[in-house]
Structure 1
C-alpha cells in the first residue's frame, strides 16, 4: 500500500507587526499566494487529502484556511497540532510514521527548516532549487508518493510527484 503525503509550507508572513513569532499573520503576498495553491489543488482534482494536520501558528492557520476554501476541502478532517510549530525534521518524520494506516493521503502544514529537511530526506531524487538558491519557500506544496505504509517512511522512501510554487501559477 502506498501513501501520498503533501507538505505545505505556510505562506509569507508579516514581520512588521511586532508580534510574537507564533502570532504573525500573513502579509499581502501570503494572502495572495495561499489561495493560489488552493485553486491549483482544486484544478488538479487527482489528489485530495483525507486528513490535514496543521501547525497552530497564525500564519499556518491562515494559510490552510485559504487553501481549504479555494480547494473545496471543507469536508476534510483538520487537526491542529501544536507539535508542528517549528518542528524538526526528526519530529515531523515521527508524525508521519504515526499517521493512521487507514488514511493514505495526508497534508502536513508547517514551517522551515523542518519541512524542507523532511522533503529532502524522504525524496529519493534531488528537490529542484529556485533561482534564489532555496528549495522550499513560502506557500510551496510538495506531493510525495511513499513506497509503503506511513510507519516505514525513511530516507529515500518517496518519489516527489509535484513541487508547486505560487509564482509558477501566475
Structure 2
C-alpha cells in the first residue's frame, strides 16, 4: 500500500518586493503550519521520505512540519518538480517515486494540490486551503500505478481553531 500526504504551504506574505519563489510566510502561515503538523502528528503514519518545493513558503512550511514530527532530515529533499501549479509535474514526480518508499509527504502549491487531492482521493475538496493537509492511501505497491485512492484524513487550519 502506498500513502501520500499532500500539504499546501502556509499563508504567504505579499508585503515584500520579492520573486514568487522568495515569498515568505505570514505569521498566520507559521502558526497554521504548527497547528496542522501537531494535530497530524498525533496519528501520523511513519513517513519514509519528505519532499518540498524550493519556494520559500513551501520549504518553511515543510521545516515546521519536520521539526514538529521530529523527522530525520536525511530523509528529506527539495525538488523543482514540486514548484508546480497545474499538478502535471507533481503527478509525474509521484509516479516516478522509488517503490521502496511506502509513505511520502510532499509540500507544494495550489491549484496542483487541490486538483491531485480530487484526482487521487475519494472525497471532493473544493479547495485545499493554505497549510491544509490531505492524506490519501492507495491499494497498490507501485507508485506508477496509483489512481483513485481513499482520502484517509484532511487536516485544515480552520477546523482546528476555536
Alpha-carbon separation, structure 2, partners of 1:25 and 1:126: 31
Aligned to 1:150: 143
* Residues matched between the structures, number: 160
**Aligned with 1:162 (options 146, 149, 153):** 153
Aligned to 2:89: 91
The reply on whether 1:37 has 2:28 as its aligned counterpart is no
The residue correspondences of 1:47-126 to structure 2 (distance < 5 A) are: 47-75=45-73, 77-123=75-121, 125-126=122-123
- Shift of the alpha carbon at 1:42? 2.2
Alpha-carbon separation, structure 2, partners of 1:48 and 1:116: 24
- CA contact 2:40–2:155 (8 Å) conserved in 1: no
Alpha-carbon separation, structure 1, partners of 2:93 and 2:86: 11
Aligned to 2:26: 27
Q: What is the Cα-based RMSD across aligned positions, in Å?
A: 1.4
- CA contact 1:145–1:161 (8 Å) conserved in 2: yes
- Shift of the alpha carbon at 1:34? 0.7
Aligned to 1:132: none
- CA contact 1:49–1:76 (8 Å) conserved in 2: no
Gaps of 5+ in 2: none
Superposed CA deviations along residues 55-80 of structure 1, whole A, max 9, x for unmatched, are: 00000111011111112213561110
- CA contact 1:3–1:145 (8 Å) conserved in 2: yes
TM-score normalised by structure 2 residue count: 0.92
Give the 3-state SS of the residue equivalent to 2:42 in structure 1: helix
